[in-house]
């Protein structure tokens, strides 16, 4: 579980724990790791924390090895770590900001898939869920790097689903809408323009909760979704459908 110390990642880990899973939480925030582990364990699951930067192949490979060493196998993975990135029109977006957003949101998912798939393929079973965004399906002016990265995640998901179709491994994506997470709150605090854009896009009249996304992710990880692969599931209360 990348980005597992807060938001959608932590909510998903807690739902997995209620289902009886043992969970490895990965995040950059070591200070939040211990409290996240404690929250997961309150739900009845076994949890461990590993600090990992998903933009680092060495970190990602080490996290996958740590999971197998701790639990003996890797049955499901939720690749959730991501950033919003800087807001601004394309001519105003710096190359540094562009590269950092893609490094975390897109290359990070690629690296996770690269190291998760071989373990699951050897087991002949496994389910992977990549957390994309509604912005992976539509344009969001002012968030070019974020949109590009999330569109890329959906392409990676479909390609991985085809490549693993005969291996017992399923790969899907979730496209959340506007979800009340610390990352969203941080973006709102940083930019009044961002707040206006986010609130105007919530067609249901409210923000979604991390738990609502988590339930979808856990279903896709479960055997209840045994014939679902290559899917990009919207969890957005109809925002993209308008």
Judge contact between 8 and 36, C-beta under 8 A: no
* 77 phi, psi to nearest 5 deg: -140, 135
Active site residues: 146
Query: Encoding tokens for residue 114?
Result: 């690269």
DSSP sequence for the chain = -BTTTSHHHHHHHHHHHHTT-EEEEEES-HHHHHHHHHHHHHTT-EEEEEE--TT-HHHHHHHHHHHHHHHS---EEEE--------B-GGG--HHHHHHHHIIIIIHHHHHHHHHHHHHHHHT-EEEEEE--GGGTS--TTBHHHHHHHHHHHHHHHHHHHHTTTTTEEEEEEEE-SB--HHHHHHHHH-HHHHHHHHHH-TTSSPBPHHHHHHHHHHHHSGGGTT--S-EEEESTTTTT-
**Residues facing residue 107 across a β-bridge:** none
Rounded Cα–Cα distance for residues 25 and 161 (Å): 24
* Interatomic CA distance for residues 170 and 189, integer angstroms: 37
């Amino acid at each position: 579980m990348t980005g597992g110390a807060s938001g959608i990642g932590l909510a998903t880990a807690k739902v997995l724990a209620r289902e009886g899973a043992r969970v490895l939480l990965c995040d950059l925030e070591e200070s939040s790791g211990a409290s996240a582990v404690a929250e997961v364990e309150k739900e009845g699951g076994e949890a461990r924390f590993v600090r990992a930067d998903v933009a680092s192949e060495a970190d990602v490979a080490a996290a996958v090895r740590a999971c197998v060493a701790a639990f003996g196998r890797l049955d499901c993975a939720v690749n959730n770590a991501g950033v919003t990135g800087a807001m601004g029109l394309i001519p105003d977006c710096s190359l540094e900001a562009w590269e950092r957003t893609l490094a975390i949101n897109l290359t990070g998912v690629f690296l996770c898939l690269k190291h998760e798939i071989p373990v699951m393929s050897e087991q002949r079973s496994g389910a992977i869920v990549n957390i994309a965004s509604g912005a992976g399906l539509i344009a969001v002016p002012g968030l070019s790097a974020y949109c590009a990265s999330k569109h890329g995640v959906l392409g990676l998901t479909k390609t991985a689903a085809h490549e693993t179709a005969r291996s017992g491994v399923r790969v899907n994506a979730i496209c959340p809408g506007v979800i009340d997470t610390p990352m969203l709150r941080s973006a709102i605090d940083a930019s009044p323009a961002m707040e206006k854009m986010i609130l105007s896009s919530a067609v249901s009249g409210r923000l979604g909760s991390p738990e609502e996304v988590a339930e979808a992710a856990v279903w896709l990880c479960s055997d209840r979704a045994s014939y679902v692969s290559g899917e990009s599931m919207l969890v957005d209360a109809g925002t993209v459908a308008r």
